[in-house]
């Protein structure tokens, strides 16, 4: 368990739900602090408008020197079968604004009833395709694997066409396999040798990977991936702020019951262009 305040600084800055939700999140962190004395927990409450709340999130994250801002996905999925999903379009816009100029890495969490991390034996799967976001996602998954009872399976899919990113990915994977896989029986690593020209086979591949069943997916948002394949697929995404893989996993049509954490790594000068979350897609949209 990492003793930094990375997720704490992010979580406390993004409580724009009801008081009940705020108290629920607070109680979860208090239980975490009780179990791990090395963790520091601060509470910040800020009243802000939807149009400027992302600026307050930036300010709190910088003040607390957070390394991760954690945001809730704008759709609430009920654990009750056939129950309608609840959509908060204003939260989607907040997420989009935060992703644009965040002072640190950002995670968007799709909650499908994950429950308390202190009470379950968590089964995590991390899909690694490549690029800075995936390397950050792997780092977070690796930290979480240090929690007792947690099982981590990292699946690498080779699709990246950027030579420089491939070299960085290789260094990251080699370090992970040497330090984590070889020294921890609860961590697994596998690779999928696939040849995708259009990316159409990606949902099928993810369905095959999903068969064992997992509690949590951790994936990168997608910057640095194969530009041709993923730019084409992004045009069909319902939620481009999640990236291609995150959008597939968050879709109700995918069929998984797993929660999903989508990670965007902080990069100086990163530019993001996203359409408004509630816009209706058309064939003429430019992303």
- Domain ranges in the chain are 6-108, 123-264
- What pLDDT sits at residue 15? 42
Query: Does 274 have pLDDT greater than 50?
Result: no
Average pLDDT score, the chain: 79
Query: Does 219 have pLDDT greater than 80?
Result: yes
Report the pLDDT averaged over residues 259-265.
95
269 vs 4, which has greater pLDDT? Answer: 269
The pTM score is: 0.82
Burial of 81 (0-12, 13-18, 19+ CB in 10 A): exposed
Secondary structure E strands in 88-194 = 105-110, 123-128, 151-157, 187-192
- pLDDT band of 172, cuts 50, 70, 90: very high
Buried b (16+ CB within 10 A) or exposed e, 268-283: eeeeeebeebeeeeee
Q: Which fold has domain 123-264?
A: Rossmann fold (3.40.50)
- What pLDDT sits at residue 83? 56
Q: Do residues 275 and 285 make contact, with C-beta atoms less than 8 angstroms apart?
A: yes
Report the pLDDT averaged over residues 62-71.
91
- What pLDDT sits at residue 273? 42
- What pLDDT sits at residue 81? 60
């Amino acid at each position: 368990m990492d003793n930094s305040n990375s997720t704490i600084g992010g979580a406390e800055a993004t409580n724009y739900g009801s008081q009940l939700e705020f108290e629920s999140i607070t109680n979860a962190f208090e239980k975490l602090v009780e179990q791990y004395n090395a963790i520091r927990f601060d509470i910040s409450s800020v009243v802000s408008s939807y149009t400027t709340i992302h600026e307050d999130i930036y300010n709190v994250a910088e003040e607390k020197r957070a390394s991760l801002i954690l945001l809730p996905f704008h759709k609430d999925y009920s654990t009750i079968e056939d129950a309608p999903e609840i959509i908060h379009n204003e939260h989607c816009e907040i997420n989009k604004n935060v992703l644009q100029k965040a002072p640190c890495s950002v995670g968007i969490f799709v909650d499908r009833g994950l429950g308390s991390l202190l009470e379950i034996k968590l089964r995590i799967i991390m899909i690694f395709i490549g690029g800075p976001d995936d390397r950050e996602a792997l780092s977070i998954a690796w930290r979480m694997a240090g929690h007792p009872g947690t099982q981590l399976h990292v699946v690498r899919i080779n699709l990246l066409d950027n030579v420089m990113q491939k070299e960085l990915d290789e260094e990251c994977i080699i370090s992970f396999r040497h330090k984590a896989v070889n020294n921890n029986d609860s961590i697994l690593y596998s690779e999928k040798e696939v040849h995708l020209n259009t990316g159409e086979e990606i949902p099928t591949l993810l369905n095959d990977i999903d068969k064992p069943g997992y509690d949590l997916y951790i994936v990168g948002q997608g910057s640095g991936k194969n530009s041709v394949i993923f730019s084409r697929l992004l045009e069909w995404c319902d939620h481009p702020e999640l990236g291609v893989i995150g959008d597939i996993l968050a879709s109700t049509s995918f069929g998984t019951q797993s929660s999903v954490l989508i990670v965007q790594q902080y990069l100086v000068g990163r530019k993001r262009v996203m359409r408004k979350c509630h816009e209706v897609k058309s064939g003429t949209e430019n992303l």
